[in-house]
Amino acid sequence: MTNIPYRVFCVGEAMAELVLGDESAPPAIGFAGDTMNTAVYLKRLQGENVDLSYVTVVGNDTLSDRLLNRFDAESINTANITRSKDRLIGLYSITTDASGERTFNYWRDRSAARTLFQLGSELDFSALSGADMVYLSAISLAILPPNVRTAFLNELDRLRREANLTVAFDSNYRSILWESKAEAQRIVAAAWKITDIALPSIDDEQMLFDDADEVAVVKRLMEYGVSRGALKRGERGPLSLNVELNSTQREMDSIQGSPIQVVDTTAAGDSFNAGYLSAVLGDADEQAALQAGHACSVRVIGHRGAIIPLSVWN
């Protein structure tokens, strides 16, 4: 890492999280969201080595106040979070079955985050100024109006060329957020073409692009110009997308230790991204980065909810 602290900006939507347990227990309220989850875990792993900012829009309501307090508690910079006068943060509920698989319901159609980068009738990307790395997901793009998401990608491309920005991207595909599958394909493909560190999941890629198998997924990503990052493959473990490595080096060595009981798979991929990026920022080799991503993910899925409480983490 050449700059200390390195400036990482995570862009997206942070929501109120309503965790529904069995009917005898009251719901628990927290805060989460795919890029927020990654931001929290990356900051915990990197500490003072990273100046981590979250970029979004929230409301002026009590839940938004508590969300900002949560960011403060995690030592995440909130200077690039703006507040809407007439919109609130989004909300989702989550139920988890005995095997740790999740069911979600969302209330986010008019969330404040959907106005990100919009200043009246003008577009304003000044919130990205000063970033060394921008981390975003396909959800970050899907929630924006079509003209804004296209302009956002163009701005990231400009900053890569003119300001040496590193772009890290995860193609979290949620079909309900997109106008059409074709639009999602177009935008996600455009995002891959300007990505420096790719963090896709094989399920998302196959669902969106109808790839027949892993070989087809990797081939398509390489055609976009992806040459660094990791393909998340669930129980099979991650596969390095670093084209300079041989096939053996691209597979993660097995981790020795006790079996992990899966309590909740929420944020499994988001936490992998945090562990992997933390290792990359620490100049770790590819095997170490894959191991770090896997270890962070395994730790998170052993707890309920997207974000492990600080008291438990420490």
Q: Which residues are catalytic?
A: 270
The answer to whether residues 156 and 131 touch, using CB atoms and an 8 Å cutoff, is no
Q: What angle do CA 312, 230, 245 make, to 5 degrees?
A: 130
- The Cα 289–Cα 3 span in angstroms is 20
**Strands annotated E in 27-176:** 28-32, 50-58, 81-83, 91-96, 102-107, 118-119, 122-123, 133-137, 166-170
- The tally of CA atoms less than 13 A away on the side-chain side of residue 251 is 6
Q: What is the DSSP letter of 255?
A: P
What DSSP character marks residue 96?
E
Amino acid at 302: G
Please report the sign of the dihedral spanned by the C-alpha atoms of residue 151, residue 78, residue 87, residue 142.
positive
For residue 32, give every residue at least 6 positions away whose Cβ sits within 8 Å of its Cβ, in sequence order, or none.
14, 15, 17, 266, 267, 305, 306, 307
Rounded (to 5) percent helix, strand, coil in the chain: 40, 20, 35
Chain Cα centroid distance, residue 224: 20
CA neighbours within 13 Å on the CB side: how many for 139? 23
142 bridge partner residues: none
- Residues 6 or more apart whose CB falls under 8 angstroms from that of 25 comprise none
